[in-house]
Amino acid sequence: MNTLLVDDSRLARTELRHLLQAFPEVHIAGEARNADEAREQIQALQPDLLLLDIHMPGTSGFELLASLEAAPQVIFTTAYDEYALQAFEVNALDYLLKPVQEARLAAALAKARAKLSKPAAVPVAPQPEEPAPAPLTAQDQVFVKDGDRCWFVRLADIRLFEINGSYTRIHFEEHRPLIPRTLQQLESRLDPKVFFRANRQQIVNLKWIAGIEPWFSNTLRITLTDGQEVEVSRQQSVRFRELLSL
């Protein structure tokens, strides 16, 4: 397993190197001290696995993952226990508290081995496809249900769609309901002139953008009218400029 260590602490990276000597199947492909270095290393080395700190100068580990088009498998290593739920919402394999214990590291690496060595699915005979749902316009109203609460909301009033585990959170007015849909399912039905896929985890409504500014590594950062900030991935930043520039 080609592995990249991402931690702003040199001591923490050294300790991980020492612990990983007990696992000959792990090859340490490189190290990064912050998110910017990590992005460059991920692009250059294409690692199978990240051992990733959460709190780093500038950009956090979560923000780094959100900015990537395709992320390696991730094991978080952190001194803070309050982010465990958020870690598993972004499909992390495990969440290790510092100082990392060898037994916990071994269990986490076993999960990584199992995930990376999973055989490809056996092809099955194609089934007749159902007709695709009709595309929606910004003026269409959609029914949204979250638990006991229901809404009938215009798509134009939705500022943001955002992955939350296996659900998608919808942002409109002061409401934040969850629906059992993926961003891919939603994107296929949304008007691309109104809704833009900013990164792996978020789709923004272009009508609700209050400001745009250059960000790290030639990317963009969008600010919505409610003050929420969305980082556009590098690839989507290029697409954003191509689609919306004069």
Q: Token digits for 116?
A: 């990376």
State the pLDDT confidence band at 148, using cuts at 50, 70 and 90: confident
Backbone angles phi, psi at 191, to 5 degrees: -70, 115
Residue 71: its pLDDT value, please?
85
Min mean pLDDT across 98-107, 118-127, 194-203, 216-225 is at 118-127
Residue 232: its pLDDT value, please?
94
Count the neighbouring beta carbons within 10 Å of the beta carbon of residue 204.
Answer: 25
Q: Token digits for 5?
A: 């260590």
Averaged over 228-244, what is the pLDDT? 91
State the pLDDT confidence band at 129, using cuts at 50, 70 and 90: low
**Burial of 242 per CB tally in 10 Å (0-12, 13-18, 19+):** exposed
- Distance in angstroms (rounded) separating the CA atoms of residues 229 and 67: 13
Residue 120 has pLDDT above 60, yes or no: no
Where do the domains of the chain lie, and which CATH numbers do they carry? 2-116 (3.40.50.2300), 141-244 (2.40.50.1020)
Residue 207 has pLDDT above 80, yes or no: yes
Residue 69 has pLDDT above 90, yes or no: no
Report CA 25 to chain centroid distance, whole Å.
27
Q: Are 167 and 160 in contact (CB under 8 A)?
A: no
Report the amino acid identity of residue 69. E
Strands (E), the chain: 2-6, 27-32, 49-52, 73-78, 94-97, 141-146, 149-154, 158-164, 167-172, 178-179, 195-197, 202-205, 209-214, 220-224, 229-232
- Distance in angstroms (rounded) separating the CA atoms of residues 112 and 91: 12
- Distance in angstroms (rounded) separating the CA atoms of residues 116 and 103: 20
Residue 208: its pLDDT value, please?
96
Q: pLDDT tens digits, residue range 45-56?
A: 999 999 999 999
Residue 126: its pLDDT value, please?
67
Residue 131: its pLDDT value, please?
63
Residue 132 has pLDDT above 80, yes or no: no
- Supply the mean pLDDT for the chain: 90
- Distance in angstroms (rounded) separating the CA atoms of residues 114 and 116: 6
State the pLDDT confidence band at 31, using cuts at 50, 70 and 90: very high
Which 8-state DSSP code applies to residue 131?
A: P
- Distance in angstroms (rounded) separating the CA atoms of residues 151 and 145: 6
Q: Can you list the alpha helix ranges (DSSP code H) found in the chain?
A: 10-20, 35-45, 61-66, 84-89, 102-116, 183-187, 234-244
Q: pLDDT tens digits, residue range 155-185?
A: 999 999 999 888 999 999 999 999 988 888 8
Residue 35 has pLDDT above 70, yes or no: yes
Report the amino acid identity of residue 18. H
State the pLDDT confidence band at 121, using cuts at 50, 70 and 90: low
Strand partners, 5: 31, 51
State the pLDDT confidence band at 97, using cuts at 50, 70 and 90: very high
Residue 61: its pLDDT value, please?
92
Residue 106: its pLDDT value, please?
94
